Structure 1
Amino acid sequence: MTLTKSLLAGTALVLAAGGASAQEMANEMTIVSWGGAYQNSQLKAYVEPYMEANPGVTVTWDESSAEAVAKLRAMNEAGNITWDLVDVVAADSIRLCDEGLAMEYDPEDLLAEGDDGSSAEDDFGDLLVDDCFIPQIVYSTTFGYRNDMVPEGADAPSEICDVFDLETYPGKRSLEKRPINNMEWALLCDGVAKEDVYDVLGTPEGQEQALAKLGTIKDDVIWWSAGADTPQLLADGEIFMGSTYNGRLYSVIVEQDQPVDMMWDAQVFDLDGWIIPEGLDDAHLARVSDFVKFATDTQRLADQSQYISYGPARLSSAPLVGEDMKPHMPTDPENAKNTFLYNYEFWADYRDDIDAKFQAWLAQ
């Protein structure tokens, strides 16, 4: 679809979305995302084209997605919802949906059909993980390492358990300051079979086992909270290896040309998408619904892959991804030889309890 056709389509959606006219829609939106390269990809693929097609609409960004659950709980308690659209991972969507903090929707009403004529429900398929989640991308959390810091005589790290091997690969690591992914990797590298990880992690003994394994490298870990932290630490040479989202590593490797390589082993596949907070007034809901239909159509999701190496969530978008980007996608066959599938339902159920235990362990 050409840019001109895209803009015309966006204008048509303004008149059609939810039966609302432009006059009945709010002229501003607050969109919550993660900052950095990912938020920039949303800006370029979705927001700037939408604003060009809808003069007078303004967008304010809030980079609080990591705290979305807690902040939406607080807003609901105060009866003051100030966000219009929130980017979240699938497990957080399940929690928000279960708690009535995210709006349930019908995919056939809110989302556009695929460019190939498929229904929205068929096009997104199993990625519609609950009644509130609006899928956007498939991404992974994986490791990058400084290729100029590989010890002399050692092979470059290629397996997830190399993260725990301080003898062969000395140096600082960076890990996210939360239990998700870290606990799974720790159990894998403590001898738990992949298919048993969540059964073990669901027990107090399994949680202690994971924390004990993480404890073997704890003194050499820099804990990160923002996705941009690990790429910066790698670029500055402050760490030898670190975890982050694959798109952030793509940025530091390809766009910044840093001496960094990817380590795809046991990359954790996850989903990211939108939720609409429950309780928006009619004008804001009409505007957000219009934007969502625009931002999640076949072409727009493919467009995002121009700016970051995340796979689009619609089947009909996959053929439109550029050939130069495909080798950098987590779903590329060469990169996906040994993946770990994130269990959304597990973390929706256990997140609060394991978070508390993990943070107490960090403080020790």
Structure 2
Amino acid sequence: MLLLTCLTAGGLGSLKPVFADDQLTIASFGGAYQAAQRKVYFEPYAKKAGVKISEEEFNSETSKIRAMVESKSVSWDAVDMDAVGGEQLCAEGALETIDWKRLGLDRSRFTGADNDCVVPADFYATVLAYDKDKLPNGPKNLNDLFDTQKFPGKRGLYKSPFGNLEWALIADGVAVKDVYKVLGTSAGVDRALKKLDTIKKDVVWWQTGAQAPQLLADGQVVMTSAWNGRIYDAVKNSGKHFEILWDAQELGMNVWVIPKGGPRVDAAYKFIAFVTSGSVQADQTRYIPYGPANRDAIAHVDPAVLPHLPTAPDHMTHALLIDAAFWGERGDELRQRFTAWLAK
């Protein structure tokens, strides 16, 4: 018996299958980021294509997509996730391989299009941020995150080894260019965790992008790691006097993926082609300053926004480029070590 979605007043003639192509379910990171996507991506595309878009929120947990694929119950058509998760899921065979001809876009115009299962979306930065109202003479470099005498009080960090281990090594004297070489050794991981031990009792752990600026606003921390777009949004739209420290910013990439075996792969391709086109990616920067991965977008970005992008030349001087391949290969092991460290 066919699964049917609804009955119309006119009778059975207009019955549609559950997985009709006039609807899409999109998953992304929520908060200010997804609010920007709603304005620039979801609403315009829904109107243009005549589809209904349903939104889900998640925090790039690979387990959610893996479970859908393994149980053959994929309900997400297109997903915006961190490149690290995309790398891992691609290696596991949980994502569709991207056919760029089918997408209708030039792969060579995208920065970071090395993985066969992803379409690069944008570049974000994990930065150190503080509230100038509460800390007029704030931190000047990454080392200040670990200086509890100069800056007493709690500091916020993302509850993950991702990014924290790198920062710990940099603050412990490892050159940015050598971070992953050192972190690739057991001694390097021990060194990073030992450095994190120096502030462990002073850390408030956050798990979603919206929590970091909230911790600052509530005065629960004197400084916090955060995603640059969330701090920018708090300043622009909530009147906060937050300051971003770009020293040792960690440049990561968000990517669009299609879970393997999804019900509307063709529709997902059309949606991704729209949201990763140059002009549309540029439009997103008006709401949240993440660097477009499509190089054709830069010419369309408002010059006033360019200095706020993590990919601005001044911000790249001491930037650490997150190694998605490293985390795709070593992520599970490092998460286990980090979880064990947290429990001590």
Alignment TM-score, normalising by the size of structure 2:
0.91
State the one-letter code of the partner of 1:121: R
Q: Hey, what's the Cα distance between the residues in 1 that align with 2:142 and 2:302?
A: 29
Q: Shift of the alpha carbon at 1:303?
A: 0.8
Contact 1:101 1:278 in 2 (8 A): yes
Aligned to 1:5: none
Q: Hey, what's the Cα distance between the residues in 2 that align with 1:104 and 1:66?
A: 19
Aligned to 2:335: 355
State the one-letter code of the partner of 2:84: A
Aligned to 2:69: 76
Q: Shift of the alpha carbon at 1:25?
A: 5.6
Q: Does the alignment pair 1:146 with 2:128?
A: no
What are the equivalent positions in structure 2 for 1:237-316 lying under 5 Å apart? 237-281=219-263, 284-316=264-296
Contact 2:176 2:318 in 1 (8 A): no
Aligned to 1:66: 60
State the one-letter code of the partner of 1:141: T
Q: Hey, what's the Cα distance between the residues in 1 that align with 2:68 and 2:20?
A: 22
Aligned to 1:122: 108
Q: Shift of the alpha carbon at 1:276?
A: 0.4
**Post-superposition CA distance 1:282-328 (Å, at most 9, x none):** xx112111111111111111111111011111111001111221121
Aligned to 1:85: 78
Unaligned runs of 5+ in 2: 1-18
Contact 1:25 1:287 in 2 (8 A): no
Quote the sequence identity (%): 40
**Runs of 4 or more above 6 Å deviation:** none
Secondary structure in 2 matching 1:334: helix
Q: Hey, what's the Cα distance between the residues in 2 that align with 1:305 and 1:294?
A: 16
Q: Shift of the alpha carbon at 1:336?
A: 2.6
Aligned to 1:46: 41
Contact 1:267 1:338 in 2 (8 A): yes
Contact 1:145 1:240 in 2 (8 A): yes
Q: Hey, what's the Cα distance between the residues in 1 that align with 2:36 and 2:120?
A: 15
Q: 1:135 aligns with which of 117, 120, 133?
A: 120
Q: Shift of the alpha carbon at 1:156?
A: 2.8
Alignment TM-score, normalising by the size of structure 1:
0.86
Q: Shift of the alpha carbon at 1:150?
A: 2.7
Contact 1:158 1:264 in 2 (8 A): no
- Larger deviation, residues 253-262 vs 305-314: 253-262
Q: Does the alignment pair 1:318 with 2:282?
A: no
Contact 1:108 1:121 in 2 (8 A): no
Q: Shift of the alpha carbon at 1:96?
A: 0.9
**Post-superposition CA distance 1:190-210 (Å, at most 9, x none):** 122222211211122211111
Q: Shift of the alpha carbon at 1:109?
A: 2.2
**Post-superposition CA distance 1:243-264 (Å, at most 9, x none):** 1111001011222121211111
Superposition RMSD on alpha carbons, in Å? 1.5
Aligned to 1:20: none
State the one-letter code of the partner of 2:101: E
Q: Shift of the alpha carbon at 1:169?
A: 1.0
Aligned to 1:13: none
Secondary structure in 1 matching 2:337: helix
Contact 2:123 2:254 in 1 (8 A): yes
Q: 1:217 aligns with which of 183, 191, 199?
A: 199
Contact 1:150 1:169 in 2 (8 A): no
Q: Hey, what's the Cα distance between the residues in 2 that align with 1:357 and 1:159?
A: 27
Q: Shift of the alpha carbon at 1:65?
A: 3.6
Q: Shift of the alpha carbon at 1:54?
A: 2.7
Q: Hey, what's the Cα distance between the residues in 1 that align with 2:104 and 2:90?
A: 18
Q: Hey, what's the Cα distance between the residues in 1 that align with 2:317 and 2:260?
A: 40
Aligned residues: 326
Q: Hey, what's the Cα distance between the residues in 2 that align with 1:199 and 1:326?
A: 32
Q: Does the alignment pair 1:27 with 2:22?
A: yes
Q: 2:154 aligns with which of 154, 159, 172?
A: 172
State the one-letter code of the partner of 1:122: S
- Larger deviation, residues 131-140 vs 254-263: 254-263
State the one-letter code of the partner of 1:60: S
Q: Shift of the alpha carbon at 1:95?
A: 0.9
Aligned to 2:14: none
Contact 1:65 1:87 in 2 (8 A): no
